Amino acid sequence: MKILKIKELLRAEVLSGEELIDGDVHSACGCDMMSDVLAFVKDQAVLLTGLCNPQVVRTATMMDMRCIVFVRGKTPTKDVLSLARDAGIVVLATDMRMYTACGILYENGLHGGECSK
């Protein structure tokens, strides 16, 4: 799914990485615990989270994620956006709750990847 489509479906605002919005993602992960995200397979994914700190970007970078969506109206700080920009990660923000946002993406064909257990 194109990141642009995710933006549209979630009625999200692009906070960083507008030039990368035509990129593709193949799976999604909704989580506020970055230790759980580390159990997720690297698969050009989008991360949906309400956690707004630099660790989110560092985790997404380690997992080769292409996009972070901050849910529940959360707005990351400038340092978080700077880290994402440097890592080439698109950052979106939506007022939707995580459960709703994940459901909309799933309903539109973006599913979760396999767990790496």
Edge-first strand order for the sheet with 90-93 is: 13-16, 90-93, 67-70, 45-49, 27-30
13 DSSP β-pair partners: 93
Domain ranges of the chain: 3-107
Q: Residue 75 and residue 31: Cα distance in Å, rounded?
A: 16
Bridge partner list, 90: 67
Digit-coded pLDDT (tens) for 10-59: 999 999 999 999 999 999 989 988 888 887 656 678 999 999 999 999 99
Query: Is 117's pLDDT higher than 60?
Result: no
pTM of the model as a whole: 0.92
pLDDT, residue 115, reads: 56
DSSP secondary structure code for residue 12 in this structure? P
More confident of the two residues 91 and 31: 91
The CATH number, out of the four listed (3.40.50.1970, 3.40.1390.20, 3.50.50.100, 3.40.440.10), of the domain defined by the range 3-107: 3.40.1390.20
**Average pLDDT of span 88-106:** 97
- Beta strands (DSSP E) in the chain are 13-16, 27-30, 45-49, 67-70, 90-93
